[in-house]
Amino acid sequence: MITGGSMGIGFAAARSCLASGADVMIVARGTQALERAREELTAAFPGRRVATAAADVGREHDVAAMFASFAERFERCDGLIHAAGVYGPIGAITDVEPAAWWDAVRVNLFGTFLVARGAAQSMQATGGGRMVLFSGGGASTPFPFYTAYASSKVAVVRFAETIARELAPLIEVNCVAPGFVATRLHDETLAAGAAAAGGFLETTKAALAGGGVSADVGADAAAFLVSEGARGITGKFVAAPYDDYRAWPERLDALRESELFTLRRVLPRERGLDWQ
């Protein structure tokens, strides 16, 4: 199952999974975009099954319905790639509307909880599986003027680390940061302007001018992490453009029960300071 699968990283993840021999269900809110995506994927990968489901991942009824639809079409859910997400309101904390801020958290964080919960229930009933959740800007560094997005996305990382321990060893869970991918989200920054977006406006313009990071980078990482090749990797925060994650299966002893590739505090003594 791939949420946000009608475009961007989710669509690229569907292509990568189909190319690896998987059958997929892509999920998004827009039915027309879903149908276009299904037609393109079916044409590109004849013989593979591509199902669709329209859902708002932040609504419990929609998520329950999409898993019911999945169960009608497929024998089991071996993998989940959760790529659906929104930026939410852009602007200073004193200016953004609370309702819009909360709605972004509903989609990005509560939606991740609902989708991961449904996948866990399905996987536990059929012998296990793997999940990949997507993080983004603000998860590893502060992201001024994007507080709803940053707060919800860093929460997704800790959520992934937490449920990885909770669901082990039957289900493995990792989180991927895809880098600056040129998606429709950045149109919102351009529309917001410098007054709302601050310095990130110029960062966005420069990154878009350079083409950004290909959607395939994060998509391929997600496809690998839900594959058998990633067995043993769980509870990790993967920066797709930078991390040599395909070599991690050779380093499971070092990764297991370590703080490598996780969120944590840095203590003064770790930086050569003589206090605390």
pLDDT confidence of residue 204: 94
pLDDT confidence of residue 221: 98
87 in any annotated domain: yes
pLDDT in tens, the chain (276 residues): 999 999 999 999 999 999 999 999 999 999 999 999 999 999 999 999 999 999 999 999 999 999 999 999 999 999 999 999 999 999 999 999 999 999 999 999 999 999 999 999 999 999 999 999 999 888 989 999 999 999 999 999 999 999 999 999 999 999 999 999 988 889 999 999 999 999 999 999 999 999 999 999 999 999 999 999 999 999 999 999 999 999 999 999 999 988 999 999 999 999 999 998
Total structural domains in the chain? 1
**What is the DSSP annotation of 43-78?**
HHSTTS-EEEEE--TTSHHHHHHHHHHHHHH-S---
What letter would DSSP give residue 141?
A: S
20 in any annotated domain: yes
The number of CA neighbours under 13 Å toward the Cβ of 264 is 11
95 in any annotated domain: yes
273 in any annotated domain: no
54 in any annotated domain: yes
Rounded Cα distance between 183 and 203, Å, is 15
245 in any annotated domain: yes
* Residue ranges making up the domain that contains 70: 2-263
274 in any annotated domain: no
Rounded Cα distance between 136 and 177, Å, is 5
pLDDT confidence of residue 183: 86
Q: Measure Cα distances from 92 to 95, 107, 140, 194 in Å.
A: 5, 20, 20, 11
63 in any annotated domain: yes
List the one residue out of 163, 168, 3, 142 whose CA is nearest residue 79: 3
CATH of the domain at 108: 3.40.50.720
3-class secondary structure, 81:
strand
